[in-house]
């Protein structure tokens, strides 16, 4: 078994394509992709929030509201003479010459003097259903409503304290009794398994395809079978190699994310990591990683079984697609609000480990339930490995046509 393990590791280190998926993807491409996407999203949002909005007000606007918009340099009033009719300014909205149009009711002054509610219309061209213009205009309107309300109440003879009592009769102070560890653990616990397990799967997938279906295509599997080594030792050697590759890929990815965080975030990254480790505790973090061991063993056995069953490299890749769905769906379920760890969820594969990691980082992990989950997932990994050995011993599986 050790000889097969060394042999597979040596061949793996010589395979540039597999090494690229194991090392290059998690170390460079993933952090660059996710980091670039985050930077692009932040820049896009900042640009959208700060860009100058050109607007048109139809009918006479209240002086206070006009002043609020004019005092803000991110709003620019359009020339009303260019849009004499509704058809013109609607066309301007569609061509993005205007960002928004506010239509004020004709009898605003009368309704306002009688303390009646007025109905304004905000016209925007929003095809995608997500428009930052609406939120920015509503913020100005809320400010105008607040100012107008305070002015009306002042005219009625109310003082400052009475005005606040009328505009906001009850002020709610939100007090969260959950401590910092529970808050961080609840958020990080759901994401930790969701991030690490796919990385482990990616690190195991391509070495497994190469060691099973790849050897079939190269014709080296027959030479390995006639060697004086039992089928169990061959499978175990390959299995240990896949587990090693899976863990190495995950560790490289973690190190890479930390490294890129130091490069781009510098002090913020250091502060975040130190704060997170000190809050959660090294012991709980190590226990969370320990809970993932049987899950990694289970995934490694699954990908090796698929690779051994596949006729060629292409078929093995096709089979890996449904496997990723099988892995991701339980992880997503475990992240849903209202889903918490109990004795029923302890027997659900993948979800049980994800929920256990979340409870551990929150500081609520029960030793009995955690032991049961670890044992259940380990037994499933052992069963899958035995099934893999069974498939490897059958010529009808190894040499499918």
On whether residue 53 sits in a domain, the answer given is no
CB burial of 109-134 (b: ≥16 within 10 Å; e: otherwise) equals eeeeeeeeeeeeeebebeeeeebbbe
- Average pLDDT on 233-262 reads 78
pTM for this predicted structure: 0.66
On whether residue 242 sits in a domain, the answer given is yes
- What is the per-residue pLDDT for 87? 92
Query: Does 239 lie in the same domain as 271?
Result: yes
User: Among 29-33, 43-47, 366-370, whose mean pLDDT is lowest?
Assistant: 29-33
Query: Does 95 lie in the same domain as 13?
Result: no
User: Among 11-20, 120-129, 184-193, 365-374, whose mean pLDDT is lowest?
Assistant: 11-20
In the chain, DSSP finds a helix count (H) and a strand count (E) of 19, 4
- What is the per-residue pLDDT for 100? 92
pLDDT of 270 above 60? no
Residues near 280 by Cβ (< 8 Å), separated by ≥ 6? 181, 184, 185, 188, 361
On whether residue 173 sits in a domain, the answer given is no
Query: Does 204 lie in the same domain as 81?
Result: no
Query: Does 301 lie in the same domain as 214?
Result: yes
- Average pLDDT on 244-267 reads 69
Provide the pLDDT confidence category of residue 393 given band limits of 50, 70 and 90: confident
Query: Does 308 lie in the same domain as 215?
Result: yes
**What angle, rounded to 10 degrees, do the helices at 367-392 and 231-264 form?**
130
Q: Which of 167, 202, 221 is the last residue of a domain?
A: 167
- What is the per-residue pLDDT for 84? 87
* Residue 360 vs residues 39, 183, 367: alpha-carbon distances, Å: 32, 12, 10
On whether residue 48 sits in a domain, the answer given is no
N-term to C-term CA, the chain: 29
Q: Which of 137, 167, 197 is the last residue of a domain?
A: 167
More confident residue, 366 or 142: 142
Backbone CA torsion sign across 289, 291, 293, 298:
negative
- What is the per-residue pLDDT for 333? 83
pLDDT above 70 covers a percentage of the chain that reads 81
pLDDT of 94 above 70? yes
pLDDT of 30 above 70? no
Q: Quick check: 288 and 362 in contact, CB under 8 A?
A: no
Query: Does 218 lie in the same domain as 90?
Result: no
- Give residue-wise pLDDT tens across range 40-81: 776 777 777 778 899 999 988 888 899 999 998 889 999 888
Q: What is the domain extent for residue 342?
A: 2-27+180-398
More confident residue, 337 or 388: 388
Query: Does 143 lie in the same domain as 216?
Result: no
- What is the per-residue pLDDT for 244? 87
Q: Which of 143, 167, 191 is the last residue of a domain?
A: 167
Query: Does 311 lie in the same domain as 209?
Result: yes
- Give residue-wise pLDDT tens across range 211-231: 888 887 777 777 777 777 787
Query: Does 333 lie in the same domain as 241?
Result: yes
- Give residue-wise pLDDT tens across range 159-206: 878 888 888 888 888 887 767 777 776 767 667 777 778 778 877 888
* Residue 312 vs residues 113, 217, 218, 307, 390: alpha-carbon distances, Å: 81, 6, 10, 8, 19
Query: Does 231 lie in the same domain as 370?
Result: yes
Q: Quick check: 380 and 350 in contact, CB under 8 A?
A: no
Query: Does 272 lie in the same domain as 189?
Result: yes
- What is the per-residue pLDDT for 25? 61
Backbone CA torsion sign across 308, 309, 311, 312:
negative
On whether residue 144 sits in a domain, the answer given is yes
Give the CA count within 13 Å in the CB-facing half-sphere of 358: 26
* Residue 346 vs residues 351, 355, 360: alpha-carbon distances, Å: 8, 9, 14
Query: Does 128 lie in the same domain as 264?
Result: no
- What is the per-residue pLDDT for 12? 63
On whether residue 37 sits in a domain, the answer given is no
Question: How far apart are the C-alpha atoms of 391 and 400, rounded to whole Å?
Answer: 12
The count of structural domains within the chain is 2
pLDDT of 102 above 80? yes
On whether residue 50 sits in a domain, the answer given is no
On whether residue 54 sits in a domain, the answer given is no
Give the CA count within 13 Å in the CB-facing half-sphere of 1: 6
**What mean pLDDT, rounded, does the chain reach?**
80
């Amino acid at each position: 078994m050790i000889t097969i393990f060394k042999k597979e590791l040596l061949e793996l280190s010589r395979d540039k394509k597999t090494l690229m998926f194991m090392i290059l993807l998690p170390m460079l491409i993933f952090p660059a992709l996710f980091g670039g996407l985050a930077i692009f999203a932040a820049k896009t949002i900042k640009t959208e929030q700060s860009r100058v909005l050109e607007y048109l007000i139809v009918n006479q606007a209240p002086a206070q509201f006009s002043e609020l918009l004019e005092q803000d340099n991110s709003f620019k009033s359009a020339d009303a003479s260019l849009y004499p009719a509704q058809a013109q300014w609607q066309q301007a909205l569609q061509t993005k010459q205007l960002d928004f149009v506010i239509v004020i009711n004709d009898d605003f002054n009368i309704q306002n003097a009688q303390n009646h509610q007025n109905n304004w219309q905000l016209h925007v061209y929003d095809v995608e259903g997500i428009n930052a213009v609406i939120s920015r205009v509503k913020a100005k309107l809320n400010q105008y409503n607040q100012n107008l309300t305070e002015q009306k109440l002042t005219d009625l003879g109310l003082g400052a304290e009475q005005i606040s009592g009328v505009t906001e009769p009850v002020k709610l102070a939100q007090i969260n009794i959950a401590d910092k560890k529970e808050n961080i653990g609840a958020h990080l616990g759901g994401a930790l398994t969701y991030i690490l397990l796919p990385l482990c799967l990616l690190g195991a997938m391509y070495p497994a395809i190469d060691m099973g279906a790849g050897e079939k295509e190269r014709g080296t599997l027959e030479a390995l079978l006639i060697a004086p080594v039992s089928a169990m030792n061959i499978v175990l050697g390959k299995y240990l190699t896949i587990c090693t590759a899976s863990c190495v890929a995950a560790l490289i990815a973690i190190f890479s994310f930390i490294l890129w965080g130091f490069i781009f975030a510098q002090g913020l990254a250091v502060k975040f990591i130190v704060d997170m480790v000190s809050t959660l505790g090294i012991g709980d973090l190590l226990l969370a990683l320990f809970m993932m061991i049987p899950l990694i063993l289970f995934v490694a056995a699954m990908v090796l079984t698929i690779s051994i069953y596949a006729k060629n490299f292409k078929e093995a890749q096709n089979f890996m697609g449904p496997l990723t769905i099988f892995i991701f769906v339980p992880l997503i379920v475990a992240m849903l609000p209202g889903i918490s760890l109990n004795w029923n969820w302890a027997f659900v594969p993948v979800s049980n480990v994800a929920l256990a990691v979340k409870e551990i980082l929150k500081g609520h992990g029960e030793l009995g339930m955690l032991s049961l989950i670890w044992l259940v997932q380990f037994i499933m990994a052992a069963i899958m490995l035995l099934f893999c050995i069974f498939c490897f011993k059958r010529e009808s599986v190894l040499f499918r046509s």
